[in-house]
Structure formats: structure tokens, C-alpha cells
Amino acid sequence: MRILVNAVVTAAALAMGASAYAAGDAAAGKQKTVMCEGCHGIAGYRTAFPSVYSVPKIGGQHAGYIVKALQGYKSGERSHPTMRAIAAGLSDQDMADLAAYYSADTAKTAAK
Ligand code: HEC
């Protein structure tokens, strides 16, 4: 019995270690990508306003990087106007969920 308990605890610890940014829920994040797909989901897409701008690939990026980038837009540390407007409306939970979704191998967005 004791061995079984140890095994369960170890498995849980491993599962947590595998997703250090695991506050995010990829399934919930997928629902939120409707806000992002218009730009990040189209191969080779460039935004036209305020100037022609190439949209970066976010699928497959590290979750921590995505959250940090979104926080940067929200705080004003990053200055792209469209992304700032979008990030301003995202909660920490939204960012974590979106990052969990986009960092998963299965998520695909436009190549740069
Ligand atoms: C109107 C078009 C548009 C929409 C909608 C949009 N983005 Fe972006 N996104 C951009 C552009 C353009 C950039 C590059 C801005 C820059 O250079 O700072 C960018 C940058 C980013 C970056 C930084 C990528 C990097 O490599 O540094 C992340 C992360 C990101 N977007 C996530 C999202 C998420 C999540 C959503 C939905 C909630 C979203 N974006 C919606 C156009 C858009």
C-alpha cells in the first residue's frame, strides 16, 4: 500500500514538473483563440494597419515566452498597438490558457 501511495505521489509530481506553467488549461485556451486566429492563424498573413507587419508564429512557442510576451503588451513594455489592445483585455488566466494551448505541439499557426 505504501509503495502504491509513493507511486501515485511521484506520478503526480512528474505530471506537475512536465508542465511548470500548468496554471493554463489548453482546452480552455483553445476556446479563446477565436480572438487570435484572425491574425496568427493565417499562413503568411500580414496586418495592414498601421503599417504592413508580418505576424509572428506563436504555435509551438514556449508557454512561458507566450505569457511573458502577452504581459509585456499589456504592461506597455512591448509596444505593438494591436497586440497591446488585445492583451489589455486578457486576464492572467486567459494568458496562461492561451499559452498552454499554443505551446502544445498540436497547435499550429502561421509560419513567419
Ligand atoms: C490584429 C492582428 C492580431 C491579433 C488579432 C492577435 N495578434 Fe498577436 N501579434 C500580432 C502582431 C502583428 C504581432 C507582432 C507584434 C510585435 O512585433 O510586437 C503579434 C505578436 C504576438 C506575440 C509575440 C510573439 C513573439 O514572437 O514575440 C504573442 C505571444 C501573440 N501575438 C499572441 C496573441 C494572442 C494569444 C492573441 C489572441 C488573444 C493574438 N496574439 C491576437 C497580430 C495579432
- Alpha-carbon distance of 44 to 16, in angstroms, equals 36
* pTM, entire model: 0.76
For 81-109, write each residue's pLDDT tens digit: 999 999 999 999 999 999 999 998 654 55
Tell me, what's the pLDDT at 40?
85
Please give the mean pLDDT across all residues of the chain: 78
Whose CA is closest to atom 37 on ligand 1? 36
**CB-ligand 1 contact for 41 (6 Å cutoff):** no
- Alpha-carbon distance of 36 to 91, in angstroms, equals 15
CB 100 within 8 A of CB 33: no
Question: Residues 40-56: what's their mean pLDDT?
Answer: 68
Q: Which domains does the chain have, with CATH numbers?
A: 22-103 (1.10.760.10)
Q: In terms of pLDDT, which residue wins out, 19 or 79? A: 79
